[in-house]
Amino acid sequence: MPLADLHLHLLPAVDDGPPDWETTEAMLTQLAANDVKLVAPTPHVWEGDWQQVGERHRGLDALVQRAAEKGIQVVGAAELWASPDLPERWEQLLPLTYGGKGKYALVEFDLSEMPLFAEWLLFQFKVRGVTPIIAHPERYFWVQEDERNLYRLLAAGALVQVGADALLRPETPMGKTAWRLLQNGLVDFLASDWHAPEPSYPLAQAVQKLKGALNSEAITRLVWVVPRQIAAGNTVQPAWHSSPVRHEVQAFSSGSGNLPRRRHWWQFLWRWRKR
Ligand SMILES: [Fe+2]
């Protein structure tokens, strides 16, 4: 099965990914062996890191060349740390959206606390025409404890990327959360968040594991159809729209999509009656 991976660290010596081209080459060899046809290297852009934003794509042209020799297409992107000053840096950030198209951006949140500005920040993306993608929500303690925190971000217009490594460790809190999100139909696509040749590439292994749980059409959507659409800058229907918990997600939507809707007590009664 061909794979598209929109979250991994492949550019040498720009973040905590591979330190040199030799390591990047070893990773490209594994990617090709796993039938990966499209990748988006997503170097970290940490909070307060603005001086070096231009450096984050250093080596991208060379990577495009080297990957093409192995039959892999490369689209530039980044993993943006969710900080309240992102909107002020918009001009710098646009080249770091997927393919520089200004349509989709990968956003990483603090593990331990959901920031108070989270929905506001996602709204800032949306008003600029960029759909934010939440990177690996299954790792966030505040999602593990209460998935309604993720519902709020979905209602604010975000898509969800779950990590292949979590699916391979179903006994851990992040693995349990990942599988629950998947079974609730809230996951838009999967990615590896791979940083180094060891441990070996996890996305193809996760696909094998998924075969017992989902049909092949659903799996293809998660690892090929949706990520390719995102890389091309095309519109994607959020997975949660057809999820069994869509009414719970909608409860956090104001219609304009940013703030939780205020409800009167009798509106809750109405919802209960509709069930
Ligand atoms: Fe990452």
Question: Which of 201-205, 232-236, 250-254 is least confident?
Answer: 250-254
- Tell me how far the alpha carbon of residue 18 lies from the centroid of ligand 1, in angstroms: 12
Confidence at residue 196, expressed as pLDDT on a 0 to 100 scale: 97
- Tell me how far the alpha carbon of residue 260 lies from the centroid of ligand 1, in angstroms: 29
Number of compact structural domains in the chain:
1
Confidence at residue 11, expressed as pLDDT on a 0 to 100 scale: 97
- Tell me how far the alpha carbon of residue 194 lies from the centroid of ligand 1, in angstroms: 7
Q: Would the CA dihedral through 207, 208, 210, 215 be positive or negative? A: positive
Beta strand pairing call for 104-108 and 131-135: parallel
- Tell me how far the alpha carbon of residue 79 lies from the centroid of ligand 1, in angstroms: 6
Q: Tokens representing 222?
A: 């998660």
The tens digit of pLDDT for each residue in 205-241 reads: 999 999 989 999 999 999 999 999 999 999 999 999 9
Q: Would you say 142 and 179 are in contact if contact means Cβ atoms under 8 Å apart?
A: no
- Tell me how far the alpha carbon of residue 67 lies from the centroid of ligand 1, in angstroms: 19
| pLDDT band with cut points at 50, 70 and 90 for residue 260 | very low
The torsion defined by the Cα of 29, 30, 33 and 39, in degrees rounded to 10, comes to -90
Instruction: Please tell me the pTM assigned to this model.
Output: 0.91
Average pLDDT (122-141) is 96
Pinpoint the alpha helices (H) of 117-221. Answer: 118-127, 141-145, 148-155, 164-167, 173-183, 202-210, 216-220
**Strand ranges in 82-145 using DSSP code E only, listed in sequence order:** 104-108, 131-135
- Tell me how far the alpha carbon of residue 78 lies from the centroid of ligand 1, in angstroms: 9
Sort residue 87 into left (φ over 0), alpha (ψ -120 to 50) or beta. Answer: alpha
Confidence at residue 254, expressed as pLDDT on a 0 to 100 scale: 55
- Tell me how far the alpha carbon of residue 56 lies from the centroid of ligand 1, in angstroms: 13
- Tell me how far the alpha carbon of residue 184 lies from the centroid of ligand 1, in angstroms: 24
Q: Would you say 121 and 151 are in contact if contact means Cβ atoms under 8 Å apart?
A: no
| Range of the structural domain that residue 193 is part of | 3-274
- Tell me how far the alpha carbon of residue 29 lies from the centroid of ligand 1, in angstroms: 20
Distance CA 191, CA 204 (A): 10
Q: Is 41's pLDDT higher than 90?
A: yes
The tens digit of pLDDT for each residue in 85-95 reads: 999 888 888 99
Q: Is 54's pLDDT higher than 90?
A: no
Q: Would you say 31 and 95 are in contact if contact means Cβ atoms under 8 Å apart?
A: no
- Tell me how far the alpha carbon of residue 65 lies from the centroid of ligand 1, in angstroms: 23
State the CATH number of the domain containing residue 21. 3.20.20.140
For residue 64, give the nearest of 110, 10, 14, 142 by alpha carbon. 10
**Percent over 90 (pLDDT), the chain:** 83
- Tell me how far the alpha carbon of residue 161 lies from the centroid of ligand 1, in angstroms: 11
Q: Is 256's pLDDT higher than 50?
A: no
